[in-house]
Amino acid sequence: MNEKQRQPGTAGVDRPRIQAAVREILEAIGEDPDREGLQDTPQRVAKAYDEFFAGLVQDPAEVLGTTFDISHEELVLVKDIPFYSTCEHHLVPFHGSAHIGYIPSPEGLVTGLSKLARLVEVYARRPQVQERLTTQIVEALMTHLDPRGAIVVIEAEHMCMSMRGVRKPGAKTVTSAVRGQLREASTRSEAMSLILHG
Ligand SMILES: Nc1nc2c(ncn2[C@@H]2O[C@H](COP(=O)(O)OP(=O)(O)OP(=O)(O)O)[C@@H](O)[C@H]2O)c(=O)[nH]1
Ligand SMILES: [Zn+2]
C-alpha cells in the first residue's frame, strides 16, 4: 500500500487477507462466521490490527526530529506513560506503564515531552516482547538525542500469563535499560527512586 492510501495512525496492513484469516479462525473454533453477531467481525479485526501494528511503519527519527536548544543539564523524566502492545508469541496484549528519563546532551538537545510518549507508541504498536520494547526505546533516545544518559523502565502485565497458560493475573514484569551516565550508581538510583516513588 502506498503512503497516500494508508490512513493516519495505521500500518496499512493487508486487510482482505486478515479478514480471510479471521474467518478461517472462526470456522476452526467451530463458530459460524455468517451468524449475525460475527458477520462484521473479520472486518473489525482487520481494522483493529491496522491500529495495533501502526508502529511498524513509523520512524522514531521523525518522532524525535523536533528538538529544542534548552540548556538543561539534569534529568528529564516522564513517568507513567500508559501503553498497549502485542505479545509476539501469542498475539494477545501486554500493557502497563513506561517511564523514560534522559540527561540531555552537552549541547542541550531536548525533545518535546509528548515525543517521548509517541516514541513508546512507535515501538509498542508492533509484535513485541517487553525486553526488546525497552531496549529499542532507550537506543532510539541515544541515537537521536545524543543524551549524556538515558533510562527506560517498563512495568507490564501480559495477558498470555493472565488469561491462559500459567493463569496468574496481576503478575507484573519489570524491565529496564540504562545507558551512559545513568549507569552510574548515584544518578541511576536518583532516577529509579523518582520512577518508583515520584
Ligand atoms: N521474555 C519474555 N517472555 C515473554 C514475553 N511475552 C511472553 N513471554 C513468554 O514467552 C514464553 C513462550 O513460551 P512457550 O513455551 O514457547 O509457549 P507456551 O507453551 O505458550 O508457554 P506458557 O505461557 O508457559 O504456556 C512464555 O513463557 C511467555 O510467558 C516477553 O515480553 N518477554
Ligand atoms: Zn505471550
- Residue 2 predicted with pLDDT over 90: no
The reported pLDDT for the residue numbered 52 is 97
Nearest CA to ligand 1 atom 25: 165
Give residue 123's identity as a one-letter amino acid code: Y
Task: Record the cell numbers describing residue 67, joined without a space.
Answer: 528538538
Q: Tens of pLDDT along 134-154?
A: 999 999 999 999 999 999 999
Active-site pick, 7, 39, 89, 184: 89
The reported pLDDT for the residue numbered 14 is 96
Mutational pocket test of ligand 1: of 85, 87, 88, 89, the residue with most ligand atoms within 8 Å of the beta carbon = 89
> Which run of H or E residues covers position 134?
helix 130-145
Contacts 24+ apart (CB under 8 A), 116-120: 116/78, 116/81, 117/78, 117/81, 118/63, 119/60, 119/63, 119/64, 120/81, 120/83
- pTM for this entry: 0.94
Give every CB contact of residue 52 below 8 A, 6+ residues apart in sequence.
84, 86, 125
Which whole number is the average pLDDT over 48-57? 97
The percent of residues in the chain predicted with pLDDT above 90, rounded, is 87
As annotated, the binding site for Zn(2+) includes 87, 90, 160
Enter the ipTM.
0.94
Q: Which domains does the chain have, with CATH numbers?
A: 15-56 (1.10.286.10), 62-197 (3.30.1130.10)
99 an active-site residue? no
User: Sign (positive/negative) of CA torsion 35, 37, 39, 41?
Assistant: negative
The reported pLDDT for the residue numbered 1 is 58
Q: Tens of pLDDT along 93-135?
A: 999 999 999 999 988 889 999 999 999 999 999 999 999 999 9
131 an active-site residue? no
The reported pLDDT for the residue numbered 170 is 98
Which whole number is the average pLDDT over 24-34? 98
Confidence of residue 73 (pLDDT cuts 50, 70, 90): confident
In ligand 1, which atom is closest to the CA atom of 87? 6
Mean of all residue pLDDT scores within the chain: 95
Q: Which of 88, 87, 107 is nearest to 156 (CA)?
A: 87
The reported pLDDT for the residue numbered 194 is 94
Range scoring the smallest mean pLDDT among 7-11, 45-49, 145-149, 151-155: 7-11
Confidence of residue 4 (pLDDT cuts 50, 70, 90): low
The reported pLDDT for the residue numbered 3 is 61
Axis crossing angle, helix 15-28 with helix 41-52, rounded to the nearest 10: 120
More confident residue, 30 or 11: 30
Q: Give the Cα separation of 48 and 100 in Å (integer).
A: 27
